[in-house]
């Protein structure tokens, strides 16, 4: 008795309308679903990376705030336009007033009022070596501020990013924070939820039971 060859098996299968081998079989109906799941997993990985980067940025800001006195301030008015338009967020660093030069943009704290961030137009000595009397003006204003500021420390603007103040304000909303926390938790759980070992070995998506 002759041993059936691969060719003879193919011919027999073709005669009865059956695929001769798994390679000739039509693609399973779940392949499209598997592709969709693959795209979803890629998107989830991208979102996880974005969340991780955002977390690293937050940690870096905390470290800078503790070690280098670097913080953020938001601009609600346009007194520094067009250099720093309303809605911008600036990164500022607290420094001694003796380090300030004419032309710097600094934030000065005021007792009983909001801080003011304007450009320094003149500097005079104060009552002590550490003290300075600053005259300031907003870039959008026609004249200097109505009175000088006597300071020992100020916050100098390092750089600013326009248009993100509203997003940062929204982050302080408890409902927004709660929603982001729930969404991030769901994303992490979905991304790392274990799949069946059989599906992992075969490289096929799981089918609903």
Domains defined along the chain, listed by start: 69-166 (2.10.109.10)
Taking CB atoms within 8 Å and a gap of at least 24, the contacts of 53-60 are none
Given a cut of 90, whether residue 199 has pLDDT beyond it is no
More confident position, 150 or 176: 150
Q: What is the pLDDT of residue 79?
A: 94
pLDDT at 182: 75
pLDDT score of 137: 97
Count Cβ atoms within 10 A of the Cβ of residue 1 and give its class: 0-12 exposed, 13-18 middle, 19 or more buried.
exposed
pLDDT tens, 91-112?
Answer: 999 999 999 999 999 999 988 8
Please state, for a pLDDT cut of 70, what percent of the chain lies above it. 59
| Residue 139 pLDDT > 90 | yes
- Give pLDDT, residue 207: 47
pLDDT in tens, 17-62: 555 455 544 555 555 555 666 676 777 677 777 767 766 766 776 7
pLDDT tens per residue across span 151-162: 999 999 999 999
pLDDT for the residue 36: 61
Beta strand spans in 64-207 (E)? 70-74, 89-96, 105-110, 113-125, 132-137, 149-151, 153-161
Which pLDDT value is given to residue 10?
54
* Residue 208, pLDDT score: 47
Torsional sign, CA 127, 129, 132, 133: positive
Percent of the chain at pLDDT above 90?
38
Q: How confident is the model at residue 15 (pLDDT cuts 50, 70, 90)?
A: low
Provide mean pLDDT across the span 1-29.
52
pLDDT score, position 195: 61
Query: Residue range 186-195: average pLDDT?
Result: 68
Task: Say whether pLDDT at 9 is over 90.
Answer: no
Q: Which of 34-38, 82-86, 140-144 has the lowest mean pLDDT?
A: 34-38
∠ CA(144), CA(146), CA(150), 5° rounding? 90
């Amino acid at each position: 008795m002759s041993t059936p060859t691969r060719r003879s098996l193919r011919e027999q299968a073709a005669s009865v309308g059956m695929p001769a081998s798994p390679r000739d079989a039509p693609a399973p109906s779940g392949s499209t679903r598997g592709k969709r799941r693959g795209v979803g997993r890629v998107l989830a990985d991208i979102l996880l990376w974005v969340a991780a980067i955002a977390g690293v940025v937050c940690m870096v800001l905390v470290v800078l705030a503790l070690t280098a006195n670097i913080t953020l301030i938001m601009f609600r008015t346009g007194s520094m336009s067009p250099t720093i338009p309303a809605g911008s967020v600036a990164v500022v660093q607290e420094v001694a007033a003796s380090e300030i030069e004419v032309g710097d943009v600094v934030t000065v704290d005021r007792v009983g009022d909001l801080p003011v961030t304007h450009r320094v137009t003149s500097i005079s000595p104060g009552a002590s070596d550490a003290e300075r009397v600053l005259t300031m003006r907003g870039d959008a204003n026609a004249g200097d501020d109505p009175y000088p500021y006597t300071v020992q420390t100020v916050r100098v603007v390092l750089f600013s990013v326009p248009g993100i103040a509203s997003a940062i304000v929204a982050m302080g909303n408890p409902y927004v924070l709660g929603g982001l926390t729930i969404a991030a938790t769901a994303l992490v759980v979905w991304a790392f939820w274990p799949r069946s070992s059989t599906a992992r070995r075969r490289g096929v998506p799981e089918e609903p039971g």
